[in-house]
Structure formats: structure tokens, C-alpha cells
Structure 1
Amino acid sequence: MSGTYASVIRALQDRVYRRGIHYQLDAVASAVSMLGLKDRPLPKALHVAGTNGKGSTLSFMAHGLFAAGYQVGTFTSPHLFRYNERVQVNMTAISDSAMCRYLQPVLDLDLPLTEFEVLCLMSWSYFADQELDYVIYETGLGGRLDATQVITPILSVITRIDMDHMELLGETIAQIAAEKAGIIREGVPVITLADQHPEALQVIDAHAQDRSSLLTLVEPPFVLPDTYQMKASFQAENLALARAAVAPLLAPEEMRLAEQGFAKAVCPGRFQVIDPALVIVDAAHNPHAIRALVQALRQGYPEQSFQVIAGILARKNANEMLTTLSEFASELYLCDFDPPNSMSASSVPSLVSPVDLSHCQSLSRQRPTVVTGSIFFLDAFLRLEEGFG
């Protein structure tokens, strides 16, 4: 018997505080066996890893396949407002009642599973009971030892690789790329960017050769059509990866329908305009993502000046991120939205001005504003906005 939605979510959140990040697969492998998941096969699976662009690439892929007439399940992380967002069928989140029903058996296991691992296992059970043609899984962290490795994909996609989560993935691009390339399976094709960081590309190529996997390199289009919902300049490479991923799966007429689906793809919290007076939110949470955001703003709004309100987790490389933002913003504010987990303006007084979370909304109404940083900060900010959260 499953509990109420609130009680099940509390039990799930408990996993964060008890276990944190568990970068190995022993408990997950045991859970797969105990839950009998191997006897409940998933539909054809696509696997997406990388540092930046995973969620947007997955959204393009899902919208394309759905527009072509296929039923698609997606597993993503983190969520913006509710856990249900992480598990969707045809862009519709799992219901509260189904969330309870499928989470409870995993929570009942006497295993030291993390929140992410519980959700990943739950998604398998849920998707196996739906009539789906494809499922697309986004890694949570790395790839080699990520819980999503329990799936067996027909295709792997590796998005842009850059510096992030160095405490777990390594201190160099090559080391991080080796973790991401861990999703490459024996004989399973893999797609990545032709202009990937040279050290990352070398590692991905070596992994593909070792596993006899066909490696396809894709070039992004120069610009995205104005008709696209996601048309920030940095989305071009994510679209290119999505196109290359779904094209081999579709007939020519289906691919034409998929192109219509790409145009409708959205990824909440990624270069999202939430106010006609120009308030843009973007979950740029590492130095590369911040640079891409600034470039997209300069290209999309060449004559516009913006103030920036940032909220950054304390463990991030905040100095580099804030330096980049300070060179762009007319005014730069830092919100300590979740002390002590978030960074305080007092640690970088020369770069930023402090702002309380309660004042962020009124501040954003004064002039064109970019709200960026941790997705958890975007969640907190958007909950101040009427109609969000």
C-alpha cells in the first residue's frame, strides 16, 4: 500500500539527506534484481550524457519522435518545480497517484539508494507498463557509474563536455570526458559534436573504438529558425544532435513531421522569457553555460542592456561565472537563496551586490533582467511569480 503523495515525496527527499550523491552502481544493480525489472523490458532506449545541453537535446528528440507519431517516455533531472516533471510520457508528467504507486516498492527496498537512483528505478517500472515506442534517459551525473546505466540503449548521445562536478568526475576535460563516455556500449552507435573540446573528442573516439561503436560527429546549423520555441544560439548544437539521433529511426515522411516537432520543443528554465517586459531565466550553472548564455544574449538582443540576478551553489566555480557575468551585466546581483548551500555576496564583494530572495521579483520588474544560476534558484525565483510553481 502506497502512502499519500506528500508522505512518499518526504520519504524520497530523505534519500538526499541520508545518502547525498552515491557514485557507484552496486545498490542499483541489486534493486534491479529485487524488483524483477529484467523481466519487464523497456522499449527502445536512447541515452543522453554530457555537461551542458542534455535536457534541451532530449526535449528536441522527444518532441521530434512524438510529432512523427511515436509514443515517447522521458527521464530527466533535476526538476524545476515538482518531481513528477522528471518522468513523462509524451511530454505529460506522471500523475501524483502513479508517482505514489510506482515509487513505494522502490522506497520499501532495504538498500542504500539515493533519490536519483530511486527515481530512475521507478521510471523503469512505470515506462514498462505504458505502451511506448521509445524511452529517452538523461544521465544525472557523469555516465560510467550513473544509475541510468541500468538501461540498454540502441543509441548514445554525448552533448557538450566542459568542467563541472570536478570533485567526482575529475579535474581535467579528459577525465570528465572518460566518465561521460562511459555510456558508450559495445556495438551501440554514439553521436557527439564535431567541435567538441579536442581532448574530450579524443577520449570519446577512443572509447567508441574500444567498444566497436560507430561514432558520428555532427555540425550545428549556423542559426535556428525564428519559428522555434528554443532559439537561443546555444540550442543550435543541441538541435543538431537531436536531428542526428532520430533521423536513422525515421522514414523520410516521418522526419519531415519530426522537424515540425523540433520547432515546438521547450525546456523550462532554459533561456525562457517569462515577462513581456523582458525577464529571461536560464539555468546556466557552470562557466561554459554562463559563457553560452552571454553569447546568446548578445546575439539575440544586441542593443539591449540587462541587469543580472544570479543564485549559485557554493560548491560551484562561482568566481569564473560571476566574472563573465560582471563583464556583461549593467548591474550584477547575487542572491544567497539557500544558505549555507548557496554562495553569499560577502565572499565576492568586488563583483556583485547582494539581494534577498524576497526582493528579487520587484528588482526584476525595474528593467530588463536575466535570472540565472542554479535550477534550484530558478525554482525559488519563479515561485515568486504569479502562475509559476
Structure 2
Amino acid sequence: MTAEERTGAIDAEPAFRTPAEAIAWITGLMPTVGIRPGLERMQLLLEQLGNPHRRLKFIHVAGTNGKGSVCAFLTSVLRQSGYDVGTFTSPYITSYTNRFQYNGEDIPEDVLLRLVNRLKSYADRMAESEWGPLTMFELTTALAILYFGTVCFPDYVVWETGLGGRLDVTNVVTPVISVITNVGHDHMDLLGPTLADIAREKAGIIKPGVPVVSAVAQPEAVAVIRETAAARQSTLYLIGEQFSYETSGTAEDEQRFDFAGLFRRLDDLTIGLNGAHQQANAATAVMAIDVLRTYYALLVDEEDLRRGLRETAWPGRLEMVSREPRILLDGAHNPEGMEALADALRDVYAYDTLNVMIAMMPNKNHEQSLRHILPMVNTLVITEPDFHKKMIASELAEVAERLRPELGGPKRIVVEPDWRKGLDALQASAAGGSGRTLAVVTGTLYLIADVRSWLLHQTKSEKGW
């Protein structure tokens, strides 16, 4: 097979003529095919493609919250240290191509078109077999593997799970290190009703003999991670045991902390991401880097580590997208995420009036999420994401109204299903208030993506992750 055939450059009759057509085909599978957990179809597809993932070094990252931030820290430090880095994350914030990055740049559209045209014939044959059609996420993951394994060949691929871990299609790879950020109440309809159940799914990314770094803290979840690592003879580096961190200073857009691990101590590390939880994410990334230095002779100078951490950015997470009026975005879509947002609002940001717009997906623990934020809010605008699956605004409003007498807030609830109109109302309330009014958009990342794209680029984001 020639190099052109391997990368899909030769195709007499391409199924798609433009990148937009190729992306529309893949993203259109989300509402029609849905989610089908399991690895068999993915393994079969990769075998037919020549198993390009076996040429790559993966850093596999799972967890309820913080996956994206840890991936961002790892990518930044590795790139600062001179490594070529592929990064695969989900969901994306602006464009489908955001999911596939090589050294911080999205996959070129001509490459995406060529690779999707190659995948289309395999997908058609699969759909006609007993395996049935491939899902959006299976094809997206295969596209990432083809890009990294046949086109750009990065030194490391920072590889984020989509949902859970054990049956997530990203779990077809054998990484050089596994990272589990934390365990929280999310996707309980698919992952299980208890933290131990969810931890068991996340722990599914632990491979025999492959070291694992984790920031999991709850005793029942830690027990599962520890048991799984021991059963697979994987060395576990756990926060609070083999590594730890201590806050040394906090201000808006700057946090400092001291890191202590098995291999060294680093004082006064600085990050620009806001929220105390980002210190835990950064410490987890530092421990993963140190494990790679010890196991695989990864070369990362201390100054490169410090600069990589300091320059890490991650959109849509405590991101101030407007200063006049002040509008803060944060994709807090579950109770743990909303608790972290509430802590940051208390500890980091100065305001005398807090107005919030929120939209959620239907499969979340909404009451526990709202309990963290409602007592702080003056005006709550409840809206809906522009997505085929969503929670109806009036239903979320019923939860907020039921909690309001108990929690003493918010003072005012506005129900506006159209997120654009809701955003207009939020902006008007911020502009009409004092200079110390803070507007926050939170909840599902489907809403965050659209609001961010609209405020920064006057366009809607793409959909389909």
C-alpha cells in the first residue's frame, strides 16, 4: 500500500467535495445513530486501517471534571519543552476541527476532507454488516488516529476520553500513562448511580503495567482506583499520598501553589486559569510529567515546566470574555462543576450584583447543581441550548422555583428559551447595573460554545460533538 493510499489521498470518486460536507456527515450521526458504548466496532475499524494507533505514544486522560484542563496543561508544558504534540479533546467550543490539534493548530481542512473520504467507505461497509453503523464519536476518534498516526506523527498524543472510560472508544489505545482527574456525579444514567460505579468506569482506562496518576479524592472512589491499579500491576500516584499541592497565592487570572511529589518539590508554580480546582488539575499534570520523566526519560526543564503551566489557556472555563460589561463563561454542567464555580465566585471575583444565565441537558443532577449557585444570584435567566437534546427551560425553572424559598435566592427568575434573547437580557442587566455587576453564563457546554462564539466572533458554534 502506498503512502497516498494510507492517507486516503487516492480516491477516484470522493464521497464529499468540501470539508463542510464531510463534517456534516459525521456530526449528523449524533441524533440518528446516537451513543453505542463498546470497543469492538472501533477495534475492527482500526484493524482494517492498519492499526495506526500502535505507532503513537498516548497520554490517556479520564475524569468527571478537569479532563480538558489537564490536557491543556500537559499540551502546553510538552510543547514548551520542544515536543510535537497532538491533542484530542471533547467537546469542542467553536469548530469541529478544534478537536484535532497538532502543536496548537486545528487539523487542516484539506487533510480532514481527505481522511473522512477514506473513512466513508469503511463506514459504509460496517453499516451494511451485522455491526451496524459507526457512531459520530467512533468516526471522530478514528479520524484523530488517522491524522496523528498517518499524517503528522506527534511525539505524544494527549488523549481525552469522551464518556466514562472502560467502554469509551478512546480506550482502544494502550497509553504510556493514564490520568484520572476526579470522579463526580455526571452521566449517571450511563455510568451508574454511585461514585464507586462511576469510578469503576473511569478506572477502565488503566492498562496492565502502565502507571496511573489520579486526583480522585472520595474514599469509595479511591478504593476502586486503588483496587484496579493493583489488579493490573500499575503503579498508582494518588493526590494526597504520592503528590500534593498547597496554595501560596490567589488573584484573578493568577494562582500560585507549591507542589510536592515523590521525585521533587517545586515552589511557587503559577497558573493563569481561575478557580482553586485548577491548582489540583495543574498539580496532577505536573505529577504526570514527573512520572514520564522517570519512566520514559522525558526531557522537561523546570523553566519550561513553569512557563508551560503559566501560559496554559482553556476556553469556556472561568473565562472572562467581556470586560465592559463583565461576562464570565464557565461550563459547570454537574454538581461538582457548579460547586467549583460557586467557590470561585466567592474567592476570586469582586461584584455587588451577580446575574446568571444557565441551560442544562436533561440527564444531569439539576437540583444539586442549582443548590450551589442559587443563593448567590440576583437575576437568573433560564434558557435552552441550541441542540437536539436539551432540558426545557420551563422544567429547569420549576426546579429553581421549588428551591428558591429554601435557599433564599435568586431574587428574580426569567425564563427565555431562546438563548440569544436570554443573552440580550443578561447583557442589558450587566450594562444597566453598577461597574461591579458580574454576568455569568454557565451550564451545558452546548450553551457555552454558542455564547462564546457569538460574543467573540458574532457567529454560532458548530454542533455535533
1:323-355 superposed Cα distances (whole Å, 9 cap, x missing partner): 322112121111023377322332234154212
Aligned to 1:241: 284
Query: Partner amino acid for 2:159?
Result: Y
Judged with a 3 Å threshold, the aligned counterparts in structure 2 of structure 1 residues 68 and 386 are, in CA distance, closer, same or farther, namely closer
SS at 1:221 equivalent? strand
Could you tell me which amino acid in structure 1 is paired with residue 361 of structure 2?
Answer: L
**Candidates 146, 152, 155, aligned match of 1:133:** 155
Q: Which of residues 85, 93, 99 is equivalent to 1:86?
A: 99
Distance in 1 separating the partners of 2:109 and 2:387: 30
Q: Quote the offset at 1:150 in angstroms.
A: 1.4
Alignment pair present for 1:211 and 2:273: no
- Could you say which residue in structure 2 is the equivalent of 1:63? 76
Choose from 114, 121, 124 the match for 2:142: 121
Aligned partners of 2:300, 2:31: CA distance in 1, in Å?
49
Q: Look up the match of 1:162.
A: 184
Q: Which of 453, 457, 463 is equivalent to 1:383?
A: 453
Distance 2:451 2:85 in 1: 31
Of residues 254, 257, 262 in structure 1, which corresponds to 2:301? 254
In the alignment, the residues of structure 2 paired with residue 248 and residue 174 of structure 1 have an alpha-carbon distance, to the nearest angstrom, of: 26
Find out whether 1:20 has 2:67 as its counterpart: no
Q: How does 1:203-352 map to 2 (within 5 A)?
A: 203-218=224-239, 219-222=244-247, 223=249, 224-225=255-256, 228-250=271-293, 254-277=301-324, 278-338=326-386, 341-347=389-395, 348-349=397-398, 350=401, 352=413
> What do residues 49-89 of structure 1 show as CA deviations (whole Å, max 9, x unaligned)?
00000000000000001101111001110111211000101
Structure 1 residues 142-195: Cα deviation after superposition (integer angstroms, max 9, x where no partner):
1111111111101000011011111111000000000000000000000112x6
Cα distance in structure 1, aligned partners of 2:231 and 2:369: 36
CA distance 1:107–1:220, shift in 2 (3 Å): farther
Letter matched to residue 292 of structure 1: A
User: Which residue pairs with 1:11 in the alignment?
Assistant: 25
User: Contact 1:64–1:257 (CA<8 Å) still a contact in 2?
Assistant: yes
**Structure with more of its chain in strand, by fraction:** 2
Local SS of the residue matching 2:210: coil
Question: Structure 2 CA distance, aligned partners of 1:344 and 1:44?
Answer: 43
Q: Offset at 1:303?
A: 4.8
Instruction: Give the structure 2 partner of residue 198 of structure 1.
Output: 219
2:170 is aligned with 1:145: no
Moved more, 307-316 or 103-112: 103-112
User: Structure 1 residue 98: deviation in Å?
Assistant: 1.2
User: What is the aligned-residue identity percentage?
Assistant: 33
SS of 1:383's equivalent?
helix
Q: Deviations over 1:244-281 (max 9, x none)?
A: 11123346762321220111111111111000132100
Contact 1:42–1:124 (Cα < 8 Å) also in 2: no
**CA deviation after TM superposition for structure 1 residue 302, in Å:** 4.9
Partner of 1:174: 196
Describe the SS at the equivalent of 1:108.
helix
Distance in 2 of aligned mates of 1:13 and 1:205: 37
SS at match of 1:156: strand
Query: 1:104 is aligned with what amino acid?
Result: N
The 8 Å contact of residues 274 and 344 in structure 2, kept in 1 or not, is answered as no
Q: Distance in 2 between matches of 1:388 and 1:262?
A: 30
Tell me, which stretches of 5 or more residues in structure 2 are unaligned?
A: 1-10, 127-132, 250-254, 257-268, 405-412, 431-437, 460-465
1:353 is aligned to 414
Q: 1:209 deviation in Å?
A: 0.3
Q: Is the 8 A contact 1:66 1:258 kept in 2?
A: no
User: Which residue pairs with 1:73 in the alignment?
Assistant: 86
Call closer, same or farther: CA 1:74–1:317 in 2, change over 3 Å.
same
Structure with the greater alpha carbon radius of gyration = 2
Secondary structure of 2:91 counterpart = coil
- CA drift of 1:231 comes to 2.8
Distance in 2 between residues matched to 1:304 and 1:67, nearest whole Å: 40
Q: Which residue identity is paired with 1:238?
A: N
Distance 2:153 2:38 in 1: 31
C-alpha contact 1:282 1:371 (8 A) present in aligned 2: yes
Instruction: Give the conservation status (yes or no) of the 8 Å contact 1:306–1:369.
Output: yes
